[in-house]
Structure 1
């Protein structure tokens, strides 16, 4: 199963350059890296990244991913949280997440 992380372009570039990341500022504050499922990703974008352009959608395969916990969050839904740095080799794929007419356009491969 794929899970998804939305990064601002500088955060994505830092992961590419450094080979690992502790995440975005919210992740550092909470002590884990926030992810969403395919069903949760659009709401996450709308809630936490409204109006922001220059974003990247990062896909990570859960199979074999250590230190991943599913924990309740918005409305009691279970969200994937990674309790270790995200490594570049964890990334299955990454694509731009453009802002089109006020909403983020998610890649067709998520469908």
Structure 2
């Protein structure tokens, strides 16, 4: 009796595995429409002092927007952080309009 041989070679199995991974859905945060250019102006006025002009965080504890980890959150969670504040960051409820916040989110999502 011959030993059992798999139906697929390693090459075929590896190819199938790669295809399954590539075809799997990628988790992308829900994005609200925001105006990048208006967000840039609002960011410079209200955010740059702590988060830096380059988004890398000018103060200790300010997230680095050039690394994707801070921005993997959905817009709704980022919006909530801006409205209510978090840790040392003050909330901007009553200071910024909802539209302004979504504009800033659009801007910071484009830091590299």
TM-score normalised by length of structure 2: 0.29
Select the structure that is richer in helix: 2
Mark the structure with the bigger radius of gyration. 2
